Structure 1
Amino acid sequence: MAGVRRLGVAVDFSPCSIKALRWTVDNVVKEGDHLILIIVRHPENYEQGEMQLWETTGSPLIPLAEFSDPTLMKRYEMEPKPEVIDIVSTAARQKSIVALMKIYWGDARDKLCEAIDHVPLDYLTMGNRGLGPLQRVIMGSVSNYVVNNATCPVTVVKTSDH
């Protein structure tokens, strides 16, 4: 993959992450890029099967043909939103890119930074949840953590609601 850009997008299927995906496709993705959707599931979501196998390293890179197949995604207890599949499929067709997905289980802050180093990613886009100041102090901001600890450029796409 020498010379190929690996662009990551943190996706949790929320409106914020879908907006970040759409923004990345519209503004960053170029022909020949690899667009990698990074999914981080909460630890309580892995109890059996594929999740136990890939708990430490995350899933293998899953090609578009597999992550758009609901039967195959049941192995990971995932149901990607049709809107996400549509955005990625359209981008793959129109811009001649390779679309992949990688699933991690654990704390989003740590796993997103791990993905940057282990995939490895040249760039990461993520949405924000729009936490208020008090919530940010109590819960912490995933985007703030990733921006401050990532080893590649990170863009946070804000929603107009926040």
Structure 2
Amino acid sequence: MADCRRVGVAVDFSPCSRKALKWAVDNLVRTGDHLILVTVRHEGYYESGEMQLWEATGSPLIPLSEFADPHIMKKKYEVEADPETLDIVSTASRQKEITVLMKIFWGDAREKICESVDNIPLDCLVIGNRGLGKIKRAIMGSVSNFVVNNATCPVTVVKSHD
């Protein structure tokens, strides 16, 4: 267990995050690693007590068997993973013999992704970069830039060229 690394990938189920996930699987993840998908939802109003508890700490680590089930994910976490992302991780889990987990946070993506590094904790993190134009980036601030500058582990940014 000592040599098992925890490789985080920030996912929002966009083409750009799938590209980052694919890159991590092809270039970084080794047999025995834990691949942890970190996803951040906007804060909302949750009726269920579990959700309110998780708002501070994030969800528990969700095993692949559970997050591959769209009904559980929708009902329990209000998250819909796309088939392509699920395909990438289930294939990786079989072929590379890795443990795939997901953790969901609620709030500001920049802050929560950085928090996840210490919270899980992660040995390294891979994040996609949407390639916003200069003006948009100046206004919105790039999530990947923020994470690179503030995360407490090595971060790899996978650029998306559409």
TM-score computed with the length of structure 2 as normaliser: 0.95
Identify the residue that residue 20 of structure 1 maps to in structure 2.
Answer: 20
Aligned residues: 160
Offset of residue 53 of structure 1? 2.4
Q: Which runs of 5+ in 2 are unaligned?
A: none
SS for the counterpart of 1:117 is helix
What is the SS of the residue equivalent to 1:38?
strand
**How much is the aligned-residue C-alpha RMSD, in angstroms?**
1.0
The one-character-per-residue Cα deviations of 1:30-77 (angstroms, maximum 9, x if unpaired) are 000000000001113x42224222000000000000000122112101
Q: Residue by residue, what CA displacement relative to the aligned partner does 1:104-135 show, whole Å, maximum 9, x if unpaired?
A: 00001100000001100001001011111111
8 A Cα contact 2:131 2:161, kept in partner: no
Question: In 1, distance between residues paired with 2:47 and 2:37?
Answer: 23
Q: Secondary structure at the match of 1:18?
A: helix
Please show how residues 132-147 of structure 1 align to structure 2 within 5 Å.
Answer: 132-147=133-148
- Residue 16 of structure 2 aligns with an amino acid whose one-letter code is C
Equivalence for 1:109: 110
Which residue is 2:94 aligned to? 93
Which residue does 2:47 correspond to in 1?
A: 48
- Distance in 1, matches of 2:2 and 2:53, equals 29
- Aligned equivalents of 2:80, 2:139: Cα separation in 1: 30
SS at match of 1:104: strand
Gaps of 5+ in 1: none
Q: Distance in 2 between matches of 1:66 and 1:54?
A: 17
- State the shift of 1:157 in Å: 0.5
- 1:59 alignment counterpart: 59
Structure 1 runs of 4+ with >4 Å offset: none
If the length of structure 1 is used for normalisation, what is the TM-score? Answer: 0.95
1:33 equivalent in alignment to 2:29: no
Per-residue deviation at 1:2? 2.6
Larger CA deviation: 4-13 vs 134-143: 134-143
* Counterparts of 2:42 and 2:32, CA distance in 1: 32
